[in-house]
Every structure is written in C-alpha cells, then in structure tokens.
Amino acid sequence: MKPIKPNALFLGVLSFYVSIYQVFAQNILIKNLPLDSIQVVNAIITDAENTVWLGTAKGLVSINRNSEVKVHKVVVDTFRSSPISCIFMDSEQNKWIGTYTGQVFKINFQGITSRYDFSKFGNHLITNILLDKNNNLWLSTAGNGIYTMNPTGDMLNFNSQNSPLPNDQVFALHLDNQGVAWIGTGKGLIKLSGINRWDREKKIEGEISALAEYNGDLWVGVIGLQETELWKYESYRKWVKIELPNFMRYTRFMKFAFDKNGKLWVATSQVANFDNGIWNLYGEEQGLTSKSVTCLQFDQENHLWIGSDGKGAFTTAPIQIPEKKEEKLPFVFIEEKPYIDEEGLVPDKVDESILNKPITLKIQFQQSRSELLPTSIIELEKLVEILNKNPNWLVEISGHTDNVGNPKLNLELSEQRAAVVRDYIMQRGVAMSRITTLGFGGTRPIASNSNSKDREKNRRVEIVLRKRM
C-alpha cells in the first residue's frame, strides 16, 4: 500500500470536516417565524398536544399544530403586563411562568390562572422554575439566590447572606431523581440535599450558565476562569470535560436540549450539536440568521424550536404562519415620568415636595459596564449632601436599561449600576440601613425605545427619597 503523504492526510481530514458541514446544511432547514413585533423569546416548552409555548418580552405566545398563533398577556398588576423570563411544564400539564419582576403564574389545563407573588423578596428576574416530587416549587433568580414554596404556600429565600450560596446570581437550576438541587451560581456549582446540607463541587470553577440531565448524566455549561467549558457528570459519579471547538470557547451556554436520538444541542450565540464526538454549527447557511440565541427545545415530533434576542423564533417544523403587516403594540408608561432638573440635584432647593417621586440622576457609566465616569461624582456628592441634611430620609436606588440586548444580562447590569451608586454613598457615610437597591433591566421604560435618543433616556439610574416612618 502506498503511504499517504502528510499534506494529503491533512487535506483528507479537512475535506472530511467540510463534508460534515455540507451534509447538515442540506438536511436541516431553519426558518424564522413571522410573529409581528415579537422579537425577544426567552423560553420555549411544548405540551402533550404538541402546542409550542414561547415566553417572550411581550407575553406568552402559543402555536398549535394548525399554525394558529395566540398571544396571552401576563398581567402583573392593573397597569402593566410583564415580560416572561422562563416557563416550566409540570407532569399535570400546568404551565408555570416566571417574570422579570419576581411574580410567578400557573396556568392549568383549563386555562385558569393562579398568581404567586415572590416580590416580597425583591423584584428579581426569575431564571428557572421547577417542581420536585413533593410538589415543592423551586425558583432561581438573577440577583437573589433561590426561592422555594411548599404546597401550603410557605415561601423561603436562600441567598448569599443567609445560606452557603456563594453568589446571588443563579442562572441554572436542576433537580435530580434523588431530590438533590443542583444550583448553578455566578461563582460555582452548589448541591443542596437533605435538610439544609450544602456541598460545593470543587471540580467546577466559574459561572454556571446551563444545566441539564439526560440518561442519568448531568451536563454543565461553565464560563470558566479562562474560557467556556462543558462538563459531563457521568452517572453522577465521574466528571468528564468535553473538548470544545474554537468557535465555542469564548461564548456562553444559554440552554441545553436533547433530540429523540439523544444528541446534545446547545444554544450559544448560535446553535450547535454534539454528534459522536463531532460538533456541528448551525447558522445563516441553514436559515438561522440570529447571532443571539437564548433558548431551544424539541417538540413531540422532534422538530427544533429556537428563541432569539432580536429576531424572534425559528423552527425546523413544517408550519406555515401567514405574514401580517406589523402592528406595533401600544406603548404604556409604567410609572409617572421621573423628575429631571437640567442642573441635576440641587441640595439648596430640595424640600419635602420631592419625596416619593422618581428622580433621574445625572450620572454616566462606561458603555455596557457598571463603572462610573468621573463626571458622575458631582451628582453623587449632591445626593450625599441631601441625605446628610435630612437624616430621616431613606433612598431607593433603581437601575434601568433600554431593551437592546439580552434581557437577563440587562437586568444584571441594572442591578450592578444601582449597587455602584449605593456603594459610593455608603463610602461617604450614608448608613446602609437607609438604602434600598433595585434593578429593573429594560422592563420600566420612560420612552419608546424606537430610536437612539429615546433609548438613551431609558438607560438611567433613578432614586426615590422617602421619609422614615
């Protein structure tokens, strides 16, 4: 047999990988669904009748076998509806819906809605909802750890202040068959089992962004100390690190899903699957035009459904939704417009007339970050002066963003910016007991977000001054 030259061998391997991509490009077609003005899809589930449910920034969307689309508003209070951050379907086909602001809704098979308000723990985005074998509800949040609720309605909150949780940012949550809660935090993977038994998985370091179990193995997506990592906990006994291709080493795992053949599919900036040791990427060639995939799910017929941040939903299912002329939903001001003085805060002009009103601070941050620009110090010093002159006043600090980008990351950024303001005024002598911080992401706009000028108005930090009772 004539030996193969090294360069020929290289070309042979290269052509093999190219052929893999070409085969998949021919055998899978992903199409974007015309869902009017719905651009952000955060979660996807399917029910027993193969109706697909999308959790979106504008409500709950259902698409049945006949391609009929319905939008169901989730009303948080009399004045506004809330964007949906996550959905869970339990064994009785009840749909559990989490919102950006700490509320949870259950819709039973008859369409009757029940509301569970966890906002007493803070208005934090719900990232995951699960139900254990004893019908205890488990929620993870972006900013306040874990919530639980037993069947009688008793609620608990585990966070970094009252439990061994190392971080309050929890983007991944899994309950295994032994009743162990696997909690993916911003600073590692934690197990909660038995009666308040906490254990940390020391093998995994970094932010845990995705968790899923298939066939007795736990899969863990990690933003590691150096690069993105994927781990498989085989039969919950042995940790195995999965090699990632270059295009996945500096991305973020948003969600895992498994098809009927047991292949792992991942939502990162795009979609990829892991097939017999080979990673296959799906993008524009297959019809997936979004570069910001948020979630994915397979329906009962093994069709793939994909949610994105900015381009709505995609699917491989053979459905036909007639395109409609885009109808913009009416914009609703959630609260009264904040008080804004061109001079910013003026301590000498402040009296009790400004109490209980939202005030926009004239401060600036670095682009998409929580670092204050030096010009902001003047405004913050004025706030410190006002609080020092009025020792019976309390201050509520809230961070806000526009609607561009990933809603979960926007919420996190808004919380961080509010915390930066808090930390500054605390360093200047304001007691922590007088300060409350909140993050709302893009859920409380004061302008339409339809142009850059209005979006700039929505990127703000507000304060509300209140008199101590």
As given in the structure block, the two tokens for residue 214 are: 């298939």
Measured CA to CA, the distance from residue 190 to residue 197 in angstroms comes to 10
- The per-residue pLDDT for 405 is 83
Measured CA to CA, the distance from residue 392 to residue 342 in angstroms comes to 27
As given in the structure block, the two tokens for residue 52 are: 């697909």
- The per-residue pLDDT for 343 is 53
Measured CA to CA, the distance from residue 106 to residue 126 in angstroms comes to 14
Measured CA to CA, the distance from residue 449 to residue 453 in angstroms comes to 8
Q: Tell me if 164 sits within 8 A of 146, measured CB to CB.
A: no
Measured CA to CA, the distance from residue 451 to residue 469 in angstroms comes to 42
CA 439 to chain centre: 13
Residue with tokens 């996550």: 86
Kindly write down the DSSP assignment for every residue of 154-177, as one continuous string: -EEEE-TTTSS-S-SBEEEEEE-T
Measured CA to CA, the distance from residue 421 to residue 398 in angstroms comes to 9
Question: Phi/psi of residue 257, each to 5°?
Answer: -150, 155
Cβ neighbours around 392 below 10 Å, total:
9
Nearest to 127 by CA among 161, 155, 156, 102: 102
As given in the structure block, the two tokens for residue 337 are: 């417009």
Sheet holding 313-315, edge to edge: 31-32, 313-315, 304-308, 293-298
Nearest to 192 by CA among 254, 123, 121, 132: 132
Q: Tell me if 103 sits within 8 A of 115, measured CB to CB.
A: yes
Residues sharing a CB contact under 8 Å with residue 181, sequence separation 6 or more, in sequence order: 132, 138, 146, 173, 174, 175, 191, 192, 193
- The per-residue pLDDT for 330 is 32
Sheet holding 95-99, edge to edge: 84-89, 95-99, 103-107, 113-117
Helical spans, DSSP H, in 99-166: none
Q: How many residues does the chain have?
A: 469
- The per-residue pLDDT for 21 is 36
Q: What angle do CA 397, 402, 404 make, to 5 degrees?
A: 140
* One-letter amino acid for residue 331 of the chain: F
- The per-residue pLDDT for 82 is 67
Strand partners for 228: 223
User: Do strands 435-439 and 393-400 pair parallel, antiparallel, or not at all (unpaired)?
Assistant: parallel
- The per-residue pLDDT for 184 is 96
- The per-residue pLDDT for 73 is 63
pLDDT in tens, the chain (469 residues): 333 333 433 333 333 333 333 334 336 788 988 887 788 899 999 999 999 999 987 788 889 888 888 877 655 443 345 688 999 999 999 999 998 878 888 888 777 788 887 877 877 889 999 999 889 999 999 989 999 999 888 899 999 999 999 999 999 999 998 889 999 999 999 999 877 899 999 888 899 999 999 999 999 999 988 899 999 999 999 999 999 988 888 889 999 999 999 999 999 888 999 988 889 999 888 999 988 899 999 999 999 999 998 888 999 988 776 655 444 333 322 233 444 444 567 777 788 888 888 888 988 877 677 887 777 888 898 899 999 999 999 999 999 988 888 888 888 899 899 988 998 898 888 988 899 888 888 888 888 888 888 888 888 899 989 888 6
Helix (H, G, I), strand (E, B) or coil at 87: strand
